[in-house]
Amino acid sequence: MTTEVWTSTRGRISEATRIILQEALEEENKKDTPSFGSEDLEEIHRSGTEAGLLGIYNFPGSVYATDGSNDRGVMGAGFFKLDEHRGGCC
């Protein structure tokens, strides 16, 4: 798979940022573990996401997130249990 990143000719990306972006694009692990830090900016970010706008992070019950993916011809299903901050794949 080829990935291209285009930026404005007037924009400037530092070498450190370029390296971070390149490493992210070359990452073999296709799954991200959700971050639930308690810093102000992290909470502000979460509240602006689709789940945050729906009030999911403050829901008093159990919340499971699921998804399906086709990785190299094999179907898998992932889950994440919000109140326990854990997930897995089956």
Mean pLDDT, the chain, rounded, equals 76
Residue 7 lies in a domain: no
Using 50, 70 and 90 to split pLDDT, how confident is the model at 17?
confident
In this prediction, residue 89 carries a pLDDT of 67
Model confidence at 87: pLDDT above 80 = no
In this prediction, residue 76 carries a pLDDT of 72
How many structural domains compose the chain?
1
Residue 84 lies in a domain: yes
Residue 10 lies in a domain: no
Residue 74 lies in a domain: yes
Q: Helix, strand, coil: what percent of the chain each, to 5? A: 35, 20, 45
Higher pLDDT, 45 or 2: 45
Residue 2 lies in a domain: no
pTM higher than 0.85? no
Residue 5 lies in a domain: no
